[in-house]
Amino acid sequence: MDKQITDIISIIKSSRNFNVLTGAGISTLSGIPDFRGEKGVYKAQNLGCDIETILSIGYFKKHPDIFYDWAKDVWYHLENYKPNIVHSVLAKLERQGYLKNIFTQNIDSLHERAGSKKVYNLHGSAADAYCTECGLHYSYEDIATIITEGKVPYCKRCNGLIKPDIVLYGEPLNEHVLSRAITCSSQSDVFMVLGSSLTVQPAASLPLYAAENKAKIIIVNKQDTYLDRYATIKADNLESVFTSLDELL
């Protein structure tokens, strides 16, 4: 592990264009349930429906009550979770001028709360919401209490259904964010994958763009990924790796 850590630091410090992709494995260190792990929330059943169905845009429009009944316990207690060592070290690397951008599959805003500025939320964020009729925007604080009380949030201006600014199944990713992610990945000379199993597209292809630019790939994830054999460094314990990095940076 010691040589692995020193190698990671050496690679980062010699980089010119260092970017990171983060997934649910980071959030689990803060206590947020993993979606696809052994005990992930995707394993659960809710009122006879699988989670992928509940998290589709069509189902949300037809059954917002069931959607929010599930979401209130998963997405609307985020104030109870705190950024962890991975979030804080990434924020430090950005402040020190090494890390250029974070592209995250997570919707919990923990990167931003840790102090990172260049964060691109590939799948949206629970921090924001909007009316599906008139487009009026709402903050997390505006609607979290309504949802945790077991109610469906409706717009104060037009009474339209309010939707969290999270990409649901059947919806496209934000074109600007995706374009930025592809461009930065393609220009990377170091690309780090943290806590992602690289199974969800198009995020799973970002390190491949970097690899095609002959970037050094660092993967820290408990599960295997399709890019492991091409990684310059592969480790499996996020907390140990980033605790060591924090001590040596």
* Span between the terminal Cα atoms of the chain, in Å: 16
> Of 78, 19, 29, 53, whose CA–CA distance to 221 is shortest?
29
- Token couple for 39: 């005990």
CB contact at 8 A, 119 and 104: yes
131 forms bridges with which residues in the sheet? 162
Distances in Å between the alpha carbon of 196 and those of 26, 52, 57, 75, 211? 8, 18, 24, 19, 16
- Catalytic-role residue among 77, 111, 123, 176: 123
In SS3 terms, 188-234 reads as: CCEEEEECCCCCCCCHHHHHHHHHHCCCEEEEECCCCCCCHHHCCEE
The DSSP secondary structure of 136-171, one letter per residue, reads: -EEEHHHHHHHHHTT---B-TTT-PBEEEEEPPBT-
CA distance 121 to 226: 23
Rg of the chain (C-alpha set): 19
Q: Is 87 a catalytic residue?
A: no
The torsion angles phi and psi of 19, rounded to 5 degrees, stand at: -130, 160
Active-site positions read 123
